[in-house]
Structure 1
């Protein structure tokens, strides 16, 4: 099974994923961003883009990597990854479905002011114009398709521990 943690930057996906992994037996975190980083290392390089998700190979490589990891390890993959383009999510979820991999799709949500404050106050990554640019696309995706496609966990007033517990309990029930 895959537990996909979606949501924009600052929602707490990476922190929550590590905590969910501790709560779900036989689970491991697979960050699909590493697939994107591998593509970024290809030289002389792929066409220029501000987001590796726009490269067509990224989406099927995420599916195939997840499939092969699950075939090898079994258990559950916890995948913290923002996907705000509906077509990209449909491509990934359809690919996983073709391999009969069940997916529990969660969106970690917070209001815009909270997200902005988290991004601007991030003591690890620091303030990030890149991350801030995704606030409006996230809001648009949430309004038009994303919240209808997932189980929404509002993290505005929820600690990462509580969010992880809520997700783990939902997966186990």
Structure 2
């Protein structure tokens, strides 16, 4: 089975994917961003745009996920924002046409909730320490620029199943996805402090500077 976890940038996709992978034996995370940023770096700076607009990226994602689903004995988890219906069909729709069991979930939240999460992830805590707890996010932040568009598009019916996460923790969101997909996760143990440390580690590993 493939679990595609969609949502706005800063909406909790990566944290939820890692929480599921940690508690679902045999599962793996396949992050299409790795291929996307690799293709983007191949281009000269003046040609670097949204890597999702590259047909080679979309085709490559399908090919790699098809191979993984066919050869790997376990579930596959994909944390990736996709808001273009055509791109959605070219990847998720195509994988379903190839016979794979693809479960799609869009993590949604109010705008202010996502903005708060963007401030908190990665280097956000350091920025707040330097600039104050009410320090605004940089207006040029690509994630913030895309936020309203993402929230609007992902509410559309073709992007169901919709999961609202404003009042849900990452472990609880993972539990909800597992139930809807008919999967059984191992119990979430370790306490709140260990959970926060684990999530901070995931966040630091996914900081990007380009």
TM-score normalised by the chain length of structure 2:
0.74
Which structure dedicates a bigger proportion of its chain to helix?
Answer: 2
Q: Secondary structure at the match of 1:97?
A: helix
- Return the match for 1:163 from 173, 184, 189: 173
User: CA separation of 1:41/1:48 partners in 2, compared to 1, >3 Å: closer, same or farther?
Assistant: closer
Cα displacement string for residues 134-157 of structure 1 (whole angstroms, at most 9, x for unaligned residues) = 1111122034x3x44321111101
Higher relative contact order (CA 8 A, sep 6+): 1
Query: How do 1:106-121 and structure 2 match up within 5 A?
Result: 106-121=105-120
Q: Secondary structure at the match of 1:5?
A: strand
Structure 2 gaps of 5+ residues are 125-136, 184-210
Q: Which has the larger radius of gyration?
A: 2
What is the Cα deviation at residue 111 of structure 1? 0.5
- What is the match of residue 146 of structure 2? 134
2-structure distance, mates of 1:154, 1:161: 14
Structure 1 gaps of 5+ residues are none
Contact in 2 for aligned 1:110/1:154 (Cα 8 Å): yes
Q: Secondary structure at the match of 1:106?
A: strand
What is the Cα deviation at residue 45 of structure 1? 7.5
Q: Secondary structure at the match of 1:134?
A: helix
Cα displacement string for residues 23-78 of structure 1 (whole angstroms, at most 9, x for unaligned residues) = 333211111101102212325579431x1101111111101011112222132111
Cα displacement string for residues 102-129 of structure 1 (whole angstroms, at most 9, x for unaligned residues) = 110001111111111111233x143561
Q: Secondary structure at the match of 1:166?
A: helix
1-structure distance, mates of 2:48, 2:167: 38
2-structure distance, mates of 1:23, 1:150: 24
Query: How do 1:68-147 and structure 2 match up within 5 A?
Result: 68-122=67-121, 124-126=122-124, 127=137, 129-143=141-155, 145=156, 147=157
Query: How do 1:3-14 and structure 2 match up within 5 A?
Result: 3-14=3-14
Q: How much is the aligned-residue C-alpha RMSD, in angstroms? A: 1.9
Aligned pair count reads 169
